[in-house]
Amino acid sequence: MSRWEPDGRGRLEQAALALYAERGYDNTTVAEIAERAGVTERTFFRHFADKREVLFAGAGALQELLVSTVANAPESLAPIDAVAVGLEAAGALFQEHRATVCRRAAIIAGTPELRERELIKLASLSAALAGTLCRRGLSGPAASLTAEVGTAIFRIAFERWIADTNDREFARLVRESLDQLKAVTAGE
Amino acid sequence: MSRWEPDGRGRLEQAALALYAERGYDNTTVAEIAERAGVTERTFFRHFADKREVLFAGAGALQELLVSTVANAPESLAPIDAVAVGLEAAGALFQEHRATVCRRAAIIAGTPELRERELIKLASLSAALAGTLCRRGLSGPAASLTAEVGTAIFRIAFERWIADTNDREFARLVRESLDQLKAVTAGE
């Protein structure tokens, strides 16, 4: 997802982000995105179902990375720590594309329809995570709970990372949030 | 929310639940709900914005109960335990209307549009909870995290309660989920 990738897909993503920021999400059409990217509308629809999906195109890869990292984390790790390792891996991906991720987050935050979509993607992430934790041998109820908590840590760390003026790494904010969670649940 | 309350609002809620279960949510119209409840469509729209909102009419009262219980919980309680007290109070409300709550949950589970709406209501609940925890003196980041985790416990306890064949009380499932969370974050 580097800036101005040579392929149409990457160009379309960058064009959409730029237009949403300039004109607002609601006021941007697929035709305008295609034009800005220098491709046809048909090419747009070969890559994305609609203008909303451009913003969530990375969700599948993110979920895959998270799930496979958790699945392959050392067996000796407690489930919540295996989840943290997965979140750190996801964070490395964010870190690499910080400018794009921040622009995307700003557009989503400003549009209720997109915030709803984001919630659904997070619920799906949580369900996938629960499945992986089950396969790691955790009981169903404990797996769901750990996945929900992991998703909560992810949201919190993400919000802090976006707002952070000290340029701290995503992985560090995940660790901080997890430590805070441990303190909170220990009743401190 | 007792069965067949004398007021139009309660009758409309029961009529909607019955029709959604019989015909499906998508196949039910406001006119049919009003007819079944023995009121005019105009009366329906005096109480609810649309047929979706009938299902979420109790969300405001639930949020209010949860937030005020957490706000008034003994100061000596750790934040997460204050949240648990709030969830137990909300649970008492569910317990009282178990049949209605279960029917409602089944309808929501079967309709993507309604599941999305439920996620949004939960996000709003989490935000309200975070605000209350802030007012109890918790720092902003810790308040958000505790609220997210509290909402996760709520979801998990709710799912278990709906599926529970042993008729265990909602409050007990909240406590169990919280204990499990404490075990999970302690790395057990």
Tell me how far apart the terminal alpha carbons of chain A are, to the nearest angstrom: 42
Residue A5 CA to residue B15 CA, distance in Å, equals: 55
CATH of A58-185, one of 3.80.30.20, 3.30.365.10, 1.10.357.10, 1.20.58.1290: 1.10.357.10
The yes/no answer on whether domain A8-51 falls in CATH 1.10.10.60 is: yes
Cβ pair B38, B103 in contact under 8 A: no
What angle do helix axes A79-96 and A112-135 make, rounded to 10 degrees?
140
Contact A69, A85 (CB under 8 A): yes
The rounded distance, in Å, linking the Cα atoms of A96 and B108 is 39
* Residue B95 structure tokens: 């317990």
In the chain, the amino acid numbered B128 is A
Predicted confidence at residue B1, as pLDDT, reads 45
Report the alpha-carbon distance of residue A7 to residue A47 in Å, rounded: 11
CB contacts < 8 A, A to B, total 90
d(CA B173, CA B161): 7
CA distances from B24 to B35, B48, B132, B167 (A): 17, 19, 38, 27
When scoring A114, A134, A184, A188 by the number of chain B Cβ atoms within 10 A, the one with the most, hence best to mutate, is A184
A70 within 8 A of A52, measured Cβ to Cβ: no
Give the Cα separation of A152 and A176 in Å (integer).
Answer: 13
pLDDT by position in tens, chain A (length 188): 444 445 788 899 999 999 999 999 999 999 999 999 999 999 999 999 999 999 998 888 899 999 999 999 998 998 999 999 999 999 998 888 888 999 999 999 999 889 989 999 999 999 999 999 999 988 888 899 899 999 999 998 998 899 888 888 999 999 999 998 888 877 65
Residue from A54, A27, A25, A24 nearest A39 by CA: A54
Q: Is B81 exposed, middle or buried (0-12, 13-18, 19+ CB in 10 A)?
A: middle
Which residue is listed with tokens 């729209």? Answer: B45
- Report d(CA A68, CA A58) in Å as an integer: 16
Q: What is the pLDDT of residue B4?
A: 46
Residues listed for chain A: 188
The ranges assigned to domains in chain A are 8-51, 58-185
Of chain B residues 12-71, which have a CB less than 8 A from chain A? none
Q: What's the farthest any 2 CA atoms get from each other in chain B?
A: 58
The predicted pLDDT at position A56 comes to 93
The pLDDT value recorded for residue A150 is 92
Separation between Cα atoms, residue A175 and residue A154, nearest integer Å: 10
CB under 8 Å to A18, separation ≥6 — which residues?
A36
Does the pLDDT of residue B164 top 50, yes or no? Answer: yes
Tell me which residue in B120, B185, B188 faces A116 most closely, judged by beta carbons: B120
Q: What's the rounded Cα separation, in Å, for the pair B139 and B137?
A: 6
Q: What is the pLDDT of residue A5?
A: 47
The question of ipTM being above 0.85 is answered as no
**In whole angstroms, what is the distance from residue B28 CA to residue B19 CA?**
7
Fold exhibited by the domain B8-54: Arc Repressor Mutant, subunit A (1.10.10)
Asked if B159 is an interface residue toward chain A (Cβ–Cβ < 8 A), one would say yes
Residue range B51-56: mean pLDDT, rounded: 95
pLDDT at position A4 is: 46
pLDDT at A187: 64
